[in-house]
Amino acid sequence: MALAVGAVRFCGARRGLGHAGLLLLRRPGTRGLAISHSQRQQQHFSSLDDKPQFPGASAEFIDKLEFIQPNVISGIPIYRVMNRQGQIINPREDPHLPQEKVLKFYKSMTLLNTMDRILYESQRQGRISFYMTNYGEEATHVGSAAALDNTDLVFGQYREAGVLMYRDYPLEQFMAQCYSNVNDLNKGRQMPVHFGCKERHFVTISSPLATQIPQAVGAAYAAKRADANKVVICYFGEGAASEGDAHAGFNFAATLECPIIFFCRNNGYAVSTPTSEQYRGDGIAARGPGYGILSIRVDGNDVFAVYNATREARRRAVAENQPFLIEAMTYRIGHHSTSDDSSVYRSVDEVNYWDKQDHPISRLRQYLENRGWWDSEQEKAWRKQSRKKVMEAFEQEERKLKPNPNLIFSDVYQEMPAQLRKQQESLARHLQTYGEHYPLDHFEK
């Protein structure tokens, strides 16, 4: 796919901002920073003009007292490729993907949707303890995952199951993790939906918000030092962007010039907090230029827009060793989690609009039907097939035993320290005395 130069734009800072704050894409191979800090200082000191010599900024003196307005840019535009009817708006932006690949997009998104429905109902029936659906955000997962190399390292937040789905993570593993059974790669030591897979380069999810952001930057810096020719992608929500870890991560990535893609899923709500109470600026993409990070805002319900932006960001991050920020505008149709009731803080009409009028799966299906690549009979057959696949994996993993309780103490230290061994022995004594009060027959011996 050859993107038209100037079509996909990244907001920039210190890299040649225009009046609207939009930086046209440079040609392949060019470096993001035109001159280094030391070169800039040398140029300043060699000049006899009355120009600022401060090392912390590139600016001119003015003689009028004026504060910078927060809305200096009228609003960062939202890049999209398809309209809501699945029609390509600008043929130059069509990624021209083969039928097989687009069908994989669609099947990954719909399979994720089917799995969500079954596991959500499973939690409601008391069969698993917790779940988080991905309703409405499927295009952000699949579009970005498809644009990456399979060896690119992924740091997720907790709503990126579609990335693993696109990387062919088995349904049985999704189920095993949510059931915390003997097949769970985490050995039952994580909450449901805290997936991780070394083989698929997906770092295990942790619950605290935004901790993955500086960790991802460190991984990207290591990849740069190793000249690994790959990127790290770090997913987070607009709520997590309010955490201090986000600031630290953005700043380190920019100053250390790391090949990382910060991917923000702006879905409208951080649990129950709407964006109107989360920030006063122009979303998350507007923050990028302040850190010196090239940024773009895309229609997160348009899988091709997400794909194009992520693919170009990846290409440039590897070629130029610099970070990129993608803000994908989308909507969380489901509750935040099974512990949330979103009807308390938003209307049914609001949710129905996004579910019926601007759903990423519906948009892609219309594109496929417009191309003659999909029809109602195929849809009916696939829905039946996908549900069968999910139910078979569900029933298989539900019957499996839980991991041995002793695994609580393993995989942290190469040699177990005395204090931990003491705890293990204490548990053994407790279970020997009171084991009849625990469902030990459900656990592997």
Active site residue 242: no
Q: How many CB atoms lie within 10 A of CB 437?
A: 8
Q: 58, 121, 350, 442: which one is catalytic?
A: 121
Active site residue 336: yes
Active site residue 121: yes
Q: 108, 122, 337, 386: which one is catalytic?
A: 337
Is the Cβ–Cβ distance between 346 and 269 less than 8 Å?
A: yes
Tokens for 7?
Answer: 């079509």
User: How far apart are alpha carbons 274 and 267 in whole angstroms?
Assistant: 9
Q: 141, 194, 335, 336: which one is catalytic?
A: 336
Active site residue 108: no
Q: 207, 343, 347, 410: which one is catalytic?
A: 207
> What residues are annotated to the active site?
121, 207, 336-337
